[in-house]
Amino acid sequence: MHSVPVILTLTVLTVLLTSTVQVIGWRPYPPKTNGSDKIFDASKKYEGSSNLVRLRYHMGPVLTNNITVHPIWYGTWQKSQKKIIREFINSISAVGSKHPSVSGWWKTVQLYTDQTGSNITATVRLGEEKNDRFYSHGKSLTRLSIQSVIKSAVASRSRPLPVNPKGGLYLLLTSDDVYVQDFCGQVCGFHYFTFPSIVGFTLPYAWVGNSAKFCPGVCAYPFAVPAFIPGIKPVKSPNGDVGVDGMISVIAHEIAELATNPLVNAWYAGADPVAPVEIADLCEGIYGTGGGGSYTGQMLNDDRGATYNVNGIRRRYLIQWLWNHVVSYCTGPNKLD
């Protein structure tokens, strides 16, 4: 398969980055399809169904080096919100977390290899961070301006983020008063890679937005429920913040896909590399055994009545399952069989 070229002219970039299918997006719940993934409708809705899925390796790199996640906090963030997200990232490689754990969830990602047979790394750590509390590019971002925000973070005169093309992941997180192109209507987050013509380097990155004010029923489901799903009540979020708890599963989704398909030429299903179906897309909306369609699967409740499916270092989280290419269905550490 042809990979997406890394160096493009600004004219082509503008066309691609404004396209609704160019980036790898986390499609809002309930799952939506486009022309490139209709063949997966039946298989992606049920965690044990696999006959139609053709997830293939396209010979591109995966992240076998230790991963360092660099958050870019864009907008106004509370300290408590940052703590929830930081601990999730630190929990990915934590040793000794109670089962089922975030680190157990990452073991599915580790099953994926590159062309040498090397597995994706077990080590994911929180790296240096950057605050953009003054909204340097405004409160309405395009897909193109997101790359400019990342450029500002790595080129800043004051404490710039380190440039690490081999193991660095740049995670742009926008606060609940920032709107991003296609937010809520088509995506809750997406990942891609930066272009040298804009940023100066090719760096894997993801954007995830806080949907609390714009569309919690779409991007923070099941902690909020959209009006078009009657008869379903929202569940209680494990960390008391619907917007941020909803972001956690999207962050997990994007980090997993960045690790397995950082340059959009490694692990994905479908014939079109600019609109691939990736390991988290195949399991969208599935959080436990039996999940599929409008049913999330069997989840856990704590003594406060909050819903979760994995344990972090000290906190609990609800994150979606991932496609396991070894057994050809969605798996997670809280499975019952």
Question: In this structure, which amino acid lies at residue 230?
Answer: P
pLDDT, residue 273, reads 77
Give Cα separations from 150 to 72, 90, 163, 201, 220 (angstroms).
8, 22, 11, 11, 25
Residue-level pLDDT at 71: 98
What pLDDT does 43 receive?
A: 32
What pLDDT does 52 receive?
A: 62
**Mean pLDDT for back-to-back runs of 10 residues, the chain (337 residues):** 27 33 33 33 38 85 98 98 98 97 98 98 98 98 97 97 97 98 94 96 98 97 90 95 98 98 95 86 95 91 98 98 95 91
Give the residue from 166, 165, 163 showing the smallest Cα distance to 121.
166
CA–CA distance, 252 with 336 (Å, rounded to integer): 21
- Neighbouring CB atoms inside 10 A of 114's CB total 18
Residue 35 has what pLDDT? 32
DSSP codes of every residue in 181-211: TTBTTTBSEEEEE--TTTTSS--EEEEEE--
Q: What is the pLDDT of residue 97?
A: 96
User: How high is the pLDDT of residue 294?
Assistant: 76
This model's pTM is above 0.85: yes
User: What CA–CA distance (Å, rounded) separates 187 from 169?
Assistant: 20
